Amino acid sequence: MPIGSISSSPDAVGVAVVNYKVPVCENHHEIMENCQKIARCIKGAKQGYPGLDLIIFPEYSTQGFHPDKWAEFTTTLDGPEVAVFKKACQEHKVYGIFSITGEEHPEGKNPFNTLIMITDEGEINYVYRKIFPWCPKEPWTAGHETGVAIGPKGLIVGGTICYDTNFPEVVRDTVMKGAELVVRIQGYMYPCKEQQRMVPQMRAWENNCFFAVANMAGKDHVYSYFGHSNIVDFDGSVLAECSTGPDEMTYATLSLTAIRDARRNWTAENHLYNLLHRGYTSEAGGHPTCCFDFFKEWVKNPKEAARKGETLTRDADAPEDASGQWIQAPPPSALAAATVHKGQSLMSTSKAAASKAQKGDLKGASAIAAHPEKANGHATANGSGLYA
């Protein structure tokens, strides 16, 4: 791939990753102010990188993660925060990947940690919910599936979130669904820097895929984040990388022809083909069967697989000396109270707030998000179809 260009081409997808400064928000108005900052970042990126097709922001870049108020800051996919992002992507003709922490759960359970992709027409075309919340600290409800979507210029994009990518199974499943670019949005802090800089390169090489990582930088109430957002070629080499500075951005182009040619014509390094055609040099077609007992049992009898795994680790959720340090899930009554504080449900007011945000009425959107009981008469949404 060419390195150092700010352009792209019909064959090359221009991708930017942002070392976004971790937001420390104390109320809904500050969250909406932060969303406007993200929108301004999109505008500046498109001005600076005319070839930009896709811009990626880190986990926690929208609402941050407040250790005491996180349950109050949930939103929905049609909420005012997302409306700001939709408008920015449409206005500047760029795809964007954004973080929602958290996305309100339809059954009143703990929120999801969610990644969304918005097209250059301002529509959500991909939603991914974090499969492996970072235990024992994160309170999010676990997602249960990987997925992909068509990105700019036909590039097939799949998402992962932070801790997910430490599990090679997540990336492999995403790639086997067609992903050519795997995106990792993360909020990784010190002292995890060295391991997490290596992981994207290995996952890219294992899966013959592009990898793009957007990480936080700066400090919030709890952690300091090391940045180093980066873009990795499908051979595992780093195309572009930020340093540790907050709000740094870097850019690279990804060739559609190159990755598709490699997947079709590479031999020894074609890990996707060789995985399902073991030993084809000695037997035509090779062996497609799974020879890994752990995976067979995990699918057939997950509880028994978990029991056997516990013999290697432990049979409790966390050691006793760590249990008191968790960010505990609030009781259902507390989640309900937080929802009532924002109106009978965020889903019942988010369209009104989103409408104001779309029109640039930041104060109006913030007021509705914080005090939806004052939004009588506005259109409502029941959220149907969001979780299908």
46: left (phi over 0), alpha (psi -120 to 50) or beta: alpha
Host domain of residue 253: 1-388
pLDDT for residue 328 is more than 80: no
Spatial contact of 3 and 214, defined as CB atoms under 8 Å apart = no
**pLDDT value for 139:** 87
CATH number at residue 4: 3.60.110.10
How many domains, in total, are found in the chain? 1
- Report the candidate in 147, 149, 39, 148 with the shortest Cα–Cα distance to residue 94: 39
pLDDT for residue 364 is more than 60: no
Catalytic residue flag (residue 69): no
Instruction: Report pLDDT digits (tens) over 263-296.
Output: 999 999 999 999 999 999 999 999 999 999 999 9
Q: Best-predicted range by mean pLDDT among 24-38, 329-343, 365-379?
A: 24-38
Query: Which residue(s) pair with 225 in the sheet?
Result: 189, 218
| pTM greater than the 0.95 cutoff | no
Q: Which residues contact 317 (CB under 8 A, 6 or more apart)?
A: 135, 136, 323
Catalytic residue flag (residue 162): yes
**Marked catalytic residue, from 162, 241, 242, 351:** 162
**pLDDT value for 363:** 52
Query: Please, which pLDDT band fits residue 70 given cuts at 50, 70 and 90?
Result: confident
Residue ranges of alpha helices (H) inside 113-185 are 168-176
d(CA 23, CA 212): 21
Helix axes 193-207 and 168-176, enclosed angle (nearest 10): 30
d(CA 339, CA 287): 53
Catalytic residue flag (residue 194): no
Collapsed DSSP state (helix, strand, coil) of residue 160: strand
Q: What is the mean pLDDT of the chain?
A: 86
pLDDT for residue 73 is more than 80: yes
Tokens of 161: 């979130």
Tokens of 217: 């930088």
pLDDT for residue 180 is more than 50: yes
**pLDDT value for 330:** 54
Tokens of 77: 């996919």
Query: Please, which pLDDT band fits residue 138 given cuts at 50, 70 and 90?
Result: confident
- Tally of residues, the chain: 388
Residue ranges of alpha helices (H) inside the chain are 28-48, 80-92, 168-176, 193-207, 256-265, 271-275, 293-300, 302-312, 320-323, 332-341, 350-358, 362-370
- Report the candidate in 88, 94, 38 with the shortest Cα–Cα distance to residue 63: 38
Spatial contact of 259 and 180, defined as CB atoms under 8 Å apart = yes
**pLDDT value for 337:** 47
d(CA 178, CA 174): 7
pLDDT for residue 359 is more than 70: no
Instruction: Report pLDDT digits (tens) over 25-54.
Output: 999 999 999 999 999 999 999 999 999 999
**Marked catalytic residue, from 35, 41, 46, 59:** 59
If you average pLDDT over residues 17-30, what whole number do you get? Answer: 95
Find where tokens 């008469």 sit: 377
**Marked catalytic residue, from 87, 130, 351, 356:** 130
